[in-house]
Amino acid sequence: MASLTTWPHSPARQAVLIVEDEPLQRMMAVALVEEAGFEALAAANAAQALAMLEQRADIRVVFTDIDLHLGMNGMRMAAVIRDRWPPIAFIMTSGQVEGAQLELPQRSCFFTKPYRREDILGALHSFMS
């Protein structure tokens, strides 16, 4: 008998990995991703995010703050992810830097904090389609 998670008539939700070191910001991002109908996975830093990517082959988008304070920042993490998991898309945010100052990876977008909910939802749906 097939388990509920592999039953052909109940499709799994697409997974989004949120990487945010500020707990309140992380909780708000999780709520936004879940509201959009996607599975939200949360990491407080790049090391946790990379460990989750090692365990989950279904992550399609990484929604990350660039200004991570412990370990590598969001840009360096994106470069590591791009090398190991090229199909993953990125939604990148920052309250410290402007998008024009960045060399973004392919299949990514940037939003300045505070970002608009509609912008994140649009990017999520664009990358997931």
3-state secondary structure 4-56: HHHCCCCCCCCEEEEECCCHHHHHHHHHHHHHCCCEEEEECCHHHHHHHHHHC
Task: Kindly indicate the confidence band of residue 12, based on its pLDDT and cuts at 50, 70 and 90.
Answer: low
What does the block give as tokens for 98?
């402007």
Q: Which of 41, 50, 113, 124 is nearest to 83 (CA)?
A: 50
Number of C-beta neighbours around residue 22 at 10 A: 16
Q: Which of 25, 37, 6 is nearest to 66 (CA)?
A: 25
Q: Which amino acid would we find at residue 25?
A: Q
Report the mean per-residue pLDDT for the chain.
Answer: 89
Task: Kindly indicate the confidence band of residue 3, based on its pLDDT and cuts at 50, 70 and 90.
Answer: very low
Q: Beta strands 108-112 and 89-94: pairing type?
A: parallel
Share of the chain above pLDDT 90, in %: 78
Q: What is the pTM of this model?
A: 0.88
CB contact at 8 A, 90 and 78: yes
Task: Kindly indicate the confidence band of residue 2, based on its pLDDT and cuts at 50, 70 and 90.
Answer: very low
Q: Which of 79, 54, 77, 82 is nearest to 65 (CA)?
A: 77
Per-residue pLDDT tens over the stretch 48-91: 999 999 999 999 999 999 999 888 999 999 999 999 999 999 99
